[in-house]
Amino acid sequence: MIKVGVIGGAGYTAGELLRILLNHPQVEITFVNSSSNAGNKLYDVHEGLFGETEMTFTDELPLDKIDALFMCSAHGDSKKFMDSHAVPSHVKIIDLAQDFRDESEGFVYGLPEINRERIKGATKLANPGCFATAIQIGLLPLAAKGLLKGEIHTNGITGSTGAGVKPGATSHFSWRNNNISIYKAFTHQHLLEIGRTLHKLQPSFSHDINFLPVRGDFARGIFVSQYTECDLEVEEIQKLYKDFYKDATFTHVMDANPDLKQVVNTNKGIVHVEKHGNKVLIISMIDNLLKGASGQAVQNFNLMFGLEESMGLKLKPSAF
């Protein structure tokens, strides 16, 4: 069994991660660190874990007793942790915050659709952002062939869990329900990692990604629609996408126009492409807490430890 520790164990992302790890056939959770919840049962915070575990949160960090460490703390805290703690060299690190997505300090960017082989050899991994994952899986095939020739226009709507567990003015139920709004127009922080990836695949890419993030009136999932100019015929585009993802474990290209419920509660990414005049329309979607966070983190963990990539991630039993 691979022994793992989790720090920052109280948020939505950590809750999903713990649910997956508790049911992962090759994992034993050694500790879940949360100083504010030390002594409480995991299910006191993550109620869905009742009946699955009697583990308690701890304020201790027995790093010498684990093989892998998942960091689920707030953005900025991962770097502080790494600067102030000596993590044993044998411990593999998976960071779910944005601190090392620029691949600084030896971290590998954990998007398996382009970095699978590098992830297999990684000891420190930076898990991608949720919007970044959903947007990138829609653009990677075009960038890999140098076909991004102009501006990209992107609209993405996300569930309220993307705002985190701490209540805020735009996340509590009475405001979010039956409501919708745009935030961080053209300035969302995930644009940095998206731009880095596209430039690596297509060094000539220098155009704007015009991204409008939208707060949705649902709990989980990300639905992205984006378009850009493309000279290929629709049949060529569809073949390009299917060839690019033919070996991807979780990202699938769908001929029919998809809907969000097809990915919610799964680690899947679904992509659909259409041609309208000289523009290609790309629809892509994921569950923000799974393929956009904890599910992808475990997918990367599996690759790092030489396990079957989908182990512990066949999550959804039905369509609804």
Cα 15 versus chain centre, distance? 14
Please list the residues that pair with 223 across neighbouring strands.
Answer: 157, 285
According to DSSP, the β-strands at 222-229 and 279-286 are antiparallel
Q: Which residues pair with 191 in a beta bridge?
A: none
b vs e for 3-13, b when ≥16 Cβ sit within 10 Å of the residue's Cβ?
ebbbbbbbbbb
Instruction: List the catalytic residue out of 6, 97, 130, 248.
Output: 130
Structure tokens at 147: 């076909």
pLDDT of the chain along its 320 residues, tens only?
A: 999 999 998 888 999 999 999 999 999 999 999 988 999 999 999 999 999 999 999 999 999 999 999 999 988 999 999 999 999 999 999 999 999 999 999 999 999 999 999 999 999 999 999 999 999 999 999 999 999 999 999 999 999 988 777 778 887 788 888 999 999 999 999 999 999 999 999 999 999 999 999 999 999 999 999 999 999 999 999 999 999 999 999 999 999 999 999 999 999 999 999 999 999 999 999 999 999 999 999 999 999 999 999 999 998 866 55
Domains parsed from the chain with CATH numbers: 2-127+293-304 (3.40.50.720), 130-286 (3.30.360.10)
Active site residue 72: no
How many Å is the Cα radius of gyration of the chain?
Answer: 19
Classify residue 83 as exposed, middle or buried by CB count within 10 Å of its CB (0-12, 13-18, 19+).
exposed
